[in-house]
């Protein structure tokens, strides 16, 4: 049996959880069967055992003259056609994110093979993307709806995601399987090294609160920036935040950080995607990891922190509530979403204070941090290894082929 993965992201071009998922799942599945990955970029064709990786290096000037907000969705459709230009000999096609789903639809129809979709997020629940895509957002919603309702099988990365799929799409619940994301527990584990901290201007001798993620409404980064004023003044705040969705949110982020830095000099903003080796160091020595997302179907980032024995304070949304055990491996903070402005809280200042309270509790109690960190690592080891997840996916494939 052979599976074809279609994905926008693949190393070294990984921007979020979907790219991490594809990297590790394809590697683990290749230990069990043949896997071909077709991705977007200039990665050289490579083969490692059962794993074949091929890129579609599209013409980046193809849509230079169109509306700037439509360039991304138009390029996506062109890429998806290009995915199918070379013959497909796989038994099924497995798509990751809406950026690849139209390609999966074409493969399903043109080659008569089953279409599997892993849902890393859902477009109707990310209305703030209209800031980035304009009317292109309507295209992404349409592509996703068409693909979801045509798929032979859908993998939801959490129970909460499954409920959203049933609510938003005309999909038979029997076609939805819940298979969690995973993590490489050998790669992500505590390290004593601190050279990366020193390079980024973080004092290894003082506790710090860590955020890792893109500058996007979804990740709730501005809610954490607003919470900094309520966090213990002696604690460092380390924001690994890059790849802004829009110039507007980049400026908003910069203004918020600059305002905070007027009153405290221990806020470190690392404005780029940090290499994996460095990020493991940052996780390992953080007193607490904060995940203030307003929408998070799963949240691999939390597993990475927990695997490095760092407790997590996260918004009680989506898959986060299925990862963090409140009061045991970290704390969940209620997020009441504003209906008219879906990326805002009903009471932003209250949410900022509510985020800061458990962060301060952990900063003030080293024994609690240690205990929660140990339990966090054990939970990841027991439940979220890629090996067990690959076996579940393979079993699903067998039921379709």
pLDDT in tens, 202-211: 999 999 999 9
Identify the pLDDT of residue 313. Answer: 98
Helix (H) and strand (E) counts for the chain?
Answer: 15, 14
Distance CA 219, CA 202 (A): 23
Cβ neighbors of 348 (< 8 A, separation 6 or more) are 223, 226
- Of residues 180, 177, 161, the one with CA closest to residue 297: 161
pLDDT in tens, 370-385: 999 999 999 999 889 8
Domains and CATH numbers, the chain: 2-182+385-400 (3.40.50.2000), 195-383 (3.40.50.2000)
In degrees, rounded to 5, the angle at the alpha carbon of residue 20 between the alpha carbons of residues 16 and 23 is 140
Residue 154 CA to its chain's centroid (Å): 18
Rounded mean pLDDT, 347-376:
96
Q: Cβ distance 248 to 134 under 8 Å?
A: no
Rounded mean pLDDT, 351-360:
97
Q: CB neighbours (10 Å) of residue 39?
A: 25
Distance CA 196, CA 210 (A): 14
- Of residues 125, 119, 126, 104, the one with CA closest to residue 162: 119
- Of residues 141, 71, 135, 161, the one with CA closest to residue 101: 141
Q: What would the two tokens of residue 355 be?
A: 């985020």
**Res 343 pLDDT > 70:** no
Identify the pLDDT of residue 374. Answer: 98
| Average pLDDT score, the chain | 93
Paired strand residues for 312: 289, 330
Q: Alpha helices of 1-129 — where are they, by DSSP H? A: 17-29, 71-83, 98-111
Identify the pLDDT of residue 276. Answer: 92
Cβ neighbors of 255 (< 8 A, separation 6 or more) are none
Identify the pLDDT of residue 338. Answer: 72
Identify the pLDDT of residue 4. Answer: 98
Indicate the SS3 state at residue 294: coil
Given phi > 0 = left and psi -120 to 50 = alpha, else beta, which region is 265?
A: alpha
Write the DSSP string, 135-157: THHHHHHHHHHHHHHH-SEEEES
Cβ neighbors of 322 (< 8 A, separation 6 or more) are 158, 159, 160, 180, 298
Distance CA 46, CA 290 (A): 37
pLDDT in tens, 272-311: 889 999 999 999 999 999 999 998 888 899 999 999 999 9
Write the DSSP string, 226-276: HHGGGS-TTSEEEEEEE--SSHHHHHHHHHHHHHHHTT-S-EEEE-SPPPH
Rounded mean pLDDT, 386-396:
94
Q: Per-residue confidence at 31, pLDDT binned at 50, 70, 90?
A: very high
Q: Per-residue confidence at 225, pLDDT binned at 50, 70, 90?
A: very high
Rounded mean pLDDT, 306-330:
96
pLDDT in tens, 114-129: 999 999 989 998 888 8
Q: Per-residue confidence at 60, pLDDT binned at 50, 70, 90?
A: low
Cβ neighbors of 341 (< 8 A, separation 6 or more) are none
Rounded mean pLDDT, 127-149:
92
Identify the pLDDT of residue 164. Answer: 94
Identify the pLDDT of residue 229. Answer: 95
Rounded mean pLDDT, 139-162:
96
**Res 143 pLDDT > 90:** yes
Distance CA 136, CA 99 (A): 12
Q: Side by side, which strands form the sheet with 288-291?
A: 267-270, 236-242, 208-214, 288-291, 312-315, 330-333
pLDDT in tens, 240-279: 998 888 888 899 999 999 999 999 999 999 998 899 999 9
Higher pLDDT, 388 or 151: 151
Rounded mean pLDDT, 388-393:
93
In degrees, rounded to 5, the angle at the alpha carbon of residue 349 between the alpha carbons of residues 347 and 352 is 110
Distance CA 312, CA 333 (A): 11
């Amino acid at each position: 049996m052979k599976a074809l993965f279609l994905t926008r992201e693949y190393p070294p071009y990984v921007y979020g959880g979907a790219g991490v998922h594809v990297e590790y799942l394809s590697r683990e599945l290749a230990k069990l069967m043949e896997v071909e990955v077709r991705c977007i970029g200039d990665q050289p064709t490579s083969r490692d055992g059962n794993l074949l990786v091929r890129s579609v290096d599209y013409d980046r000037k193809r849509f230079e003259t169109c509306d700037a907000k439509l360039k991304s969705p138009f390029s996506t459709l062109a890429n998806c056609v290009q995915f199918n230009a070379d013959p497909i000999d796989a038994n099924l096609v497995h798509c990751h994110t809406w950026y690849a789903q139209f390609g999966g639809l074409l493969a399903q129809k043109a080659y008569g093979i089953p279409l599997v979709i892993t849902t890393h997020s859902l477009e109707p629940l990310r209305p703030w993307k209209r800031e980035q895509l304009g009317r292109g957002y309507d295209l992404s919603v349409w592509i996703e709806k068409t693909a979801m309702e045509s798929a032979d099988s859908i993998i939801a990365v959490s129970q909460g995601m499954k409920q959203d799929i049933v609510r938003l799409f005309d999909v038979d619940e029997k076609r939805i399987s819940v298979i969690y994301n995973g993590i490489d527990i050998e790669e992500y584990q505590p390290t004593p090294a601190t050279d990366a901290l020193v390079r980024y201007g973080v004092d290894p001798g003082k506790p710090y609160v860590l955020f890792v993620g893109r500058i996007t409404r979804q990740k709730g980064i501005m809610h954490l920036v607003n919470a900094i004023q309520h966090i213990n003044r002696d604690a460092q705040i380390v924001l690994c935040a890059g790849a802004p969705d829009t110039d507007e949110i980049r400026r908003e982020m910069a203004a918020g950080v600059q305002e905070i830095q007027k009153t405290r000099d221990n806020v470190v903003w690392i404005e780029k995607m940090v290499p994996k080796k460095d990020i493991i160091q940052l996780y390992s020595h953080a007193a607490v990891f904060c995940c203030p997302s307003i929408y998070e179907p799963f949240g691999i980032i939390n597993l990475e922190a927990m695997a490095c024995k760092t407790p997590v304070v996260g918004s009680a949304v989506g898959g986060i509530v299925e990862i963090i055990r409140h009061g045991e491996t970290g704390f969940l903070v209620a997020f009441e979403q504003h209906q008219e402005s879906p990326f805002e809280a009903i009471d932003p200042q209250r949410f900022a204070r509510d985020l800061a309270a458990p962060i301060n509790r952990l900063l003030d109690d080293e024994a609690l941090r240690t205990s929660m960190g140990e339990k966090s690592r054990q939970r990841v080891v027991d439940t979220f290894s890629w090996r067990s997840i690959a076996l579940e996916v393979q079993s699903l494939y067998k039921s379709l082929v």
